[in-house]
Amino acid sequence: MGQIVGSMQMNVAEVFGNRRKRKRSTDSSLGKDEQAQLDATQPKKKKLLTTTQYIYKALFKEQKNSDVSVMALDKVWHLHKVYLSQSPYFYTMFNGTWREAQQKFVQITILDDRITVASLDAVFGSMYSDEIEIEPTDVIPVLATATLFHLDGIIDKCAEVMVDTISPETAIQYYEAACQYGVVGVKKSTFQWFQINLLSIYSKHPNLLRHISIGLMSALTASHDLYVMQTEFSLYTLLRTWMFLRLHPDYDPEDPVQRAEALKTQERLINAGVDTHTPSGDIVQWTYFTNRMEERSFLATPEGQPYVRVFQKLRTQYLTNHYMDLKIIYNDNIIPKEWLYRHIHNHWDALLRIDHGQEDCSPQQLDDEQFFENCMRCGRLLLEPGYQKWRWTGFNFGMDLILIMDSRRLNIRRHHRHEHERVLSLQTKRKFMIRTTVTSINAQRQPVFTQTSEICSLSLEKNEEVPLMVLDPKLVHPLLISINMLVVMPPNQSFKEIVPHCEEAMPTSLSIPISEIGADCERPMTPSSADDSAVFIGDSEATTPSSPAPRPRISWGAASSETDAIGDLAC
């Protein structure tokens, strides 16, 4: 039986094999002409355009069967009312009592300079298709056009593109466009980006810095979420540069010719015995402010009045806790001297209260708003993981506070060593309030993940160390650390609402020249420049930091000194 079945299978295979052979033989016997005729008679498969592609090509690109012509910016589009009516703008025009409802030609007057012919073409074409391609270079004109025609879908698409492409070059334009067209998400994202990158990025790009508006800079300066790299004095120097660049739109610090002139000016000052402690690129603004012959502050002049509200938002009470910072600010004569005198008085009053053990001097029973309006802002960038510790220098009401990053834990320590007791608080416990924020950023310096602690009140004994935050695993380096801290009860700052137009050289209550305040004090922690306002401590706590070389004394009546606010430590 098995042999019979096997024989049948072989016979069937031979039959079908012979058929295939005969078919191939028949095909090969056909001539070329016959084969071509046969191919011509066989049906061919062809991929047809989709309905959307056909509509876009025939009705928009070829403009067939148009029932309305639209003219804008001297160009005419032959379009169709049924497709244009997807826009509330055109729907109202064609279906209301407007005269355009009966017309076949509509002229649109474009008042917005951001709208271009290309953006109009893209938006009109999107009504004939189910997609639109938006390049970052064209996103603002497309957003402006979509806003004109009330096309929410395209506005949302523009917002996505803008949020994904925020950078130093686009952030300012994106923020202004978001404010103008009411795109809340983009405004929020760009403002957050500015809070993180203002000091670390724009100090290195002066020609971008000058385009930040007064309103935006005022809001950033007031923000308690601003990442101040390193201390408030760094923000002051940035504002000084920003104000100078806006006052001198023709000055280009990146121009080789102007840079050469600035270098020559610096050399002349050095030869004259004036040590400015200023990079050559900043020497022009240094000369501009310090060479003014007026006694009144720059903010009191007509040129400075537009910038008053920005400097009022600056935490000027933290500009007077370092000798060199105070000297530079006094010589710049931008901030009214009355503000400085009030701050010095308030600091001395708080210091005496602390030394006397007054509990009411420590911050207590403050709500969040009071804390955020008055807290000190400090920041630091950690590029790599590992054990690190640092302090932000300056006299901090007798407390030497050190931040310590150990693995995934951020701690704070009240450092107290006997050799520095004459400048440190002798109180057994000191109270202060603090909030910590840590942000992980990507290559575009956009925030990837942020962890923020609550505002907490701490009471530390001498050399006591406590944890501030255990880092979330989602936080990866590089990390930006921002600290908000308040160590004394905030005094009344209402005096900053007034900018005196006429100031005396020195109030009678301060008979000692301000340049002599603290002149005889040698503090090992005093930085040699504003770049060192956050000082790395090192791995060993027993290591004694060496004292930097003291700066040459510059009399207050002579030319002043200035430092580069953002150095290597500030990103």
Residue 443: what residue type? Answer: A
What is the model's pLDDT at position 154? 95
Nearest to 283 by CA among 299, 272, 293: 272
- Calpha distance 419→426 (Å, rounded): 13
- Calpha distance 112→176 (Å, rounded): 14
- Calpha distance 192→194 (Å, rounded): 5
Q: How far apart are the first and last CA of the chain?
A: 89
Give the residue range(s) of CATH 2.60.210 domains in the chain: 363-497
Name the token pair of 516.
């002599």
The helix-helix angle for 256-271 and 283-290 (nearest 10°) equals 60
DSSP 295: S
Integer CA distances (angstroms), 307 to 244, 299, 326, in order: 11, 7, 20
Furthest C-alpha separation in the chain:
130
What is the model's pLDDT at position 551? 32
What is the model's pLDDT at position 533? 47
Model confidence, pTM: 0.76
- What pLDDT digit, counting tens, does each position of 441-468 carry? 998 899 999 999 999 999 888 889 999 9
Sequence-distant (≥ 6) Cβ neighbours of residue 469 within 8 angstroms? 409, 410, 436, 438, 451, 453
Q: Which residues pair with residue 480 across a beta bridge?
A: 381, 439
- DSSP-derived secondary structure for 379-429: EEEE-S-S-EEEEE-S--TT-EEEEEEETTEEEEEEE--GGGGGGS---SE
Give the residue range(s) of CATH 3.30.710.10 domains in the chain: 49-165
- What pLDDT digit, counting tens, does each position of 501-537 carry? 655 444 433 334 434 433 344 433 333 344 444 444 4
Ranges in the chain, pLDDT < 70: 1-49, 266, 269, 273-281, 359-360, 418-425, 501-571
- Calpha distance 228→313 (Å, rounded): 14
Report the percent of the chain where pLDDT is more than 90.
47
The helix-helix angle for 184-201 and 214-222 (nearest 10°) equals 80
Integer CA distances (angstroms), 40 to 31, 35, 43, 424, in order: 14, 9, 8, 100
- What pLDDT digit, counting tens, does each position of 304-346 carry? 999 999 999 999 999 988 888 888 898 889 999 999 999 999 8
β-pairing, 105-107 vs 68-72, is parallel
* The domain made up of 49-165 is a member of CATH 3.30.710.10: yes
What is the model's pLDDT at position 566? 30
What is the model's pLDDT at position 48? 54
Residues 363-497, CATH architecture: Sandwich (2.60)
What is the model's pLDDT at position 507? 42
What is the model's pLDDT at position 39? 54
- Extended strands (E) in 168-244: none
